A and B are shown apart, each in its own frame.
Chain A
Amino acid sequence: MTADGADKPDRAVVRDALGVGVAVGLSGFAFGVTSAGSGLGLLQSCALSLLVFTGASQFALVGALAAGGSPFTAAAGAFFLGVRNAFYGLRLSQLLALPRAVRPFAAQWVIDETTAVTLAQPTRRARRIGFTVTGLTLYALWNLTTLFGALGAKAIGDTRAWGLDAAGPAVFLALLAPMLRTTTTERVVAGLAVLLGLGLLPVLPAGVPVLVAALAAPVALVAEGRRRPRGPRGEPVTGPDGGAVAEGDR
């Protein structure tokens, strides 16, 4: 993505948006296969992509269900992953200045990729084009490829033999990597969460260790505040967004 001057041509914005939309949209195939491999039906896999439409939450949900988690712990993990979208929405509502009547429809597209593309645009017109084109491309492709993936999973049989059980964690890692490039606290949180998530796996019911691992975030945040007693309410000096979309794209 480029951010060249105030009068960026519409075509350049569309090109940026299509690049992100197509690349990530195609990975819906991995979700469809993973979802079907986790035991979800075709209708269930497609319903997730149509209605939830935020990749990390979808992968987390089917993974937790496959591991035998209760629907409530599975949904809680997926929900907490989706909370970041509220903060994207806060930024986007200022940048896009959408009419109130449009917001319930635009809301479904408020995700990592649309936010990354929108933030990278120089003008309101470019931001609106970027948001719309990314959202539309990604929504259409993600749902189409989910359908193909879920259908294809049956045809290819054992998804493990094809290495497709590695798709979910690879998606998580790809989302996580840019966040780790921001501050030390991010890396401390990640390390602590890994220890909690793996250490508690043998002793707690499926799905619960991930929720406990989420506590690494407030714990590290409080510790960060203690280390920097002069910072108001413990916020770091860098990264106005905490770097959640710091890399601009993936």
Chain B
Amino acid sequence: MNTWIAIGLTAVGCYAVKLAGLLVPAGAMERPFVRRLAALLPVALLAALTAQQTFADGHGLVLDARVAGLGAAAVALVRRAPFLLVVAAAVLVTAGVRALGG
């Protein structure tokens, strides 16, 4: 039930902000501070999420095969690989390191 509540809230919230962008008159959200904050908010969230899902194990921090996988993804990104290849590199290297006992 909790999962459905989370899904419902996220679905309504995410659709509402998408629609708001299309309906609201352009002037309302054009203030530089607001625009800038909207651009920086995903940077903060994505950075925190990347770090947590790479290093977190419950409430603790660990170094495991995921670190190698994310390193591979980073290399792929620096070399401007396509999106799908970046994700594939992370998955394959993580699986490889685990298979080797890492």
Contact = CB atoms under 8 A, between A and B. Distances in A.
A228 B49 CA distance: 30
A168 interface: yes
Please indicate which of the listed interface residues A40, A179, A186, A201 has the most CB atoms of chain B within 10 Å of its own CB. Answer: A201
Please indicate which of the listed interface residues B59, B96, B97 has the most CB atoms of chain A within 10 Å of its own CB. Answer: B59
A197 B51 contact: yes
Nearest to A22: B84
Interface in A159-218: 160-177, 179-180, 185-186, 189-194, 196-198, 201-202, 206, 209-210, 213-218
The A interface, classified by DSSP as helix, strand, loop or mixed, is helix
Given A163-B96, A190-B43, A235-B36, A107 B60 contact: no
Contact of B29 (A60, A87, A100, A189): A87
Contacts of B101: none
A98 B95 CA distance: 46
A202 to B, nearest CB: 5
The B interface, classified by DSSP as helix, strand, loop or mixed, is helix
Please indicate which of the listed interface residues A27, A54, A56, A197 has the most CB atoms of chain B within 10 Å of its own CB. Answer: A197
Contacts of A63: 49, 52-53
Contact of B45 (A61, A166, A213, A244): A213
B6 A65 contact: yes
B38 A84 contact: yes
A161 B22 CA distance: 43
Please indicate which of the listed interface residues B38, B51, B70, B86 has the most CB atoms of chain A within 10 Å of its own CB. Answer: B51
A152 interface: no
Please indicate which of the listed interface residues A23, A169, A218 has the most CB atoms of chain B within 10 Å of its own CB. Answer: A169
Contact of A103 (B22, B33, B56): B22
Given A221-B37, A233-B33, A60 B43 contact: no
Given A63-B49, A170-B87, A197-B52, A217 B40 contact: yes
Given A89-B20, A242-B39, 17 more contacts: A27-B87, A30-B91, A41-B3, A51-B15, A53-B14, A63-B52, A68-B58, A77-B49, A85-B14, A107-B21, A170-B87, A170-B89, A172-B50, A209-B52, A221-B40, A244-B42, A250-B86
Interface of B: 2-7, 9-11, 13-15, 17-24, 26, 29-33, 35-56, 58-61, 65-66, 69-70, 73-74, 77, 82-84, 86-87, 89-99
